[in-house]
Amino acid sequence: MFFCAISGEVPQDPVISAKSGHVYERRLIQKYINENGSDPVTGEKLEESDLVSVKASPNAAPPRAPAQTSIPALLQTLQNEWDALVLETFALKQQYNATRQELSYSLYAQDAATRVVARLMKERDAAREALASVQASMGIVPPSGSSGDVEMSGEEEGAGGIPADIVSQIDETHQTLSAARKKRKAPAHYVTPAEVKTFKAKHTIPSLHSASPAGITSLAVSRTDPSHFLTGGNDKIVQLYDRTTDKVLATLKGHTKKVNHVAFREKDGEPTLLLSGGADKIAKIWSHDATSGEYLPKQTIRSHKGEITGLAVHPTSTVLALSSHDKSYSLHDITNFKQVFFSAPADEPLTSLSIHPDGMLLAVGTPASTIQIYDIRSGGIAATLTPEGSTPFTVHTTSFSENGYHLLAPDSLSSMAIWDLRKPKIAHSIPLGDDFKINKVSYDLSAQLLGVAGSEGARVYAHKSWEELARFEEGGEVTDLVFGHQGKEIWGVSGREVRVWGSEEAMDTA
């Protein structure tokens, strides 16, 4: 097969140069000779007489040129590809428009349903308020209903809608504990204020929880096994840790936002429960399984429509109390994981929760500096505590004293007050410094000591004398504070670390 030395294609009328031996298309080489008079390849002088015709067989047809070797063929191929691409794009655009219309319809339908639900809820709340006003005008304490979303069972109910068996347990616990209140003394071998003055950094457990987002938000120490502690973090995780072996015993997942509070439920003859409440509006309960030794999820409580801001176990060890930004608190039976009480909406969101050691009262904080004390059985307000002359602030932590006579709570952003519940009024206020921002206040088990955690570390004071016994600032900000077994240790959370402070003797024996 010959190819023209000028066009590179198979010649229709091939000729050969007698001088150079190259093959050309006759019309092309003749044109070149007429214009230049030389061979286009070698540049030698060339005349038409030097061209020799190639006689091909009449039966041989010239081969068909490859499809992609010419510009017209390439343009045709590109045109075909473009047409196919445009058709596919048109089909996708039609499908997109159809999907968009379907989504638009769904959004309109959802918006309409949301408006209907909001209107019905508004009417329901208005009806509840009207009913409460009528009952109040008649001198009747309005019973607090349940969440309204669950049909009430047919079992007998006690005061305020709480089942009679729960009320009986609360009354029995109150009678037992309140009868011994005046005789209630610090346990044997309990730490003394003098020993607290010798407390120093004893142990640091670093790098708990994930580094992103970093930070431990809450802490609880087991009373049955003081080496076990529970933490909740900004990383949405709850961890159970053994201090003696420096190992994580359980990593519990299930929250979708940060964990605000954690607690143990420890009762003789029953499995240990781990409880947590988070910014995702839910509380979770895990139970220890004796067979596997693991903690298994038992219940997720979704009663509230706002962030869980408080969590506490009632002295009966059978009731869990929750408070929320949705202006309500609720009680749950943790023996069968049923809700037994849901409060009427308050005027302000609830920002903290604690339970009286005798089990009859419940304190909740608000963003308006006020602390509301509720009767657990009826849901009625027993007292309202508001510090005088202070700039409004959020009460995000409270703590009852073990003898039940006092309540520890902030009375400003940088001072804490000891409320005498028998008056009720502030018995004493402890200034902490303008730069100190309170994160947590706590009474110890003996009611002899009270602690505060904040932006400048942790401090411990003596009850009644109000003397500052210890100050721990080496860890920076402390977000939570717990008194350990026999008061001989103080546990604090600082960033991603859990710190333990204790006496020098305890440090030597440790």
Q: What is the CATH number of the domain that holds 423?
A: 2.130.10.10
pLDDT tens for each residue of 437-487:
999 999 998 888 999 999 999 999 999 899 999 999 888 899 999 999 888
Q: Is 74 within a domain?
A: no
- Residue that is last in its domain, among 11, 32, 65: 65
Q: Is 34 within a domain?
A: yes
> Residue 257 in contact with residue 276, Cβ under 8 Å?
no
- Residue that is last in its domain, among 40, 65, 90: 65
Q: Residue 190: pLDDT above 90?
A: no
Q: Give the pLDDT band (50/70/90) at residue 351.
A: very high
Assess whether 38 and 177 both reside in one domain: no
Which whole number is the average pLDDT over 348-374? 94
Q: Give the pLDDT band (50/70/90) at residue 59.
A: low
- Residue that is last in its domain, among 48, 65, 82: 65
Q: Give the pLDDT band (50/70/90) at residue 176.
A: confident
Q: Residue 155: pLDDT above 50?
A: no
> Residue 378 in contact with residue 343, Cβ under 8 Å?
no
Select the more confidently predicted residue: 56 or 416: 416
At 210 the pLDDT is 83
Could you tell me the pTM of the whole model? 0.67
Alpha helices (runs of H) in 180-294, residue ranges in sequence order:
193-196
Hey, is 217 helix, strand or coil?
strand
Assess whether 30 and 167 both reside in one domain: no
Could you give the percent of the chain with pLDDT greater than 90? 53
CA 237 to centroid of chain Cα atoms: 8
Q: Is 256 within a domain?
A: yes
Q: Residue 152: pLDDT above 50?
A: no
Q: Is 107 within a domain?
A: no
At 507 the pLDDT is 43
Task: Give the total number of structural domains in the chain.
Answer: 2
pLDDT tens for each residue of 397-413:
999 998 888 999 999 98
Per DSSP, the residues of 192-205 read: PHHHHTT-EEEEEE
Q: Give the pLDDT band (50/70/90) at residue 300.
A: very high
CATH of the domain at 33: 3.30.40.10
Nearest to 262 by CA among 276, 278, 282, 242: 276
> Residue 308 in contact with residue 315, Cβ under 8 Å?
no
Tokens of 321: 């109390």
Q: Give the pLDDT band (50/70/90) at residue 144.
A: very low
Give me the domain span that covers residue 454.
159-509
Q: Which residue has the tokens 């008194």?
A: 483
Alpha helices (runs of H) in 281-396, residue ranges in sequence order:
none
Assess whether 278 and 412 both reside in one domain: yes
Q: What is the DSSP letter of 178?
A: H
Q: Which residue has the tokens 């596997």?
A: 292
Cα separation of 39 and 22, whole Å? 9
Q: Is 132 within a domain?
A: no
Select the more confidently predicted residue: 205 or 399: 399
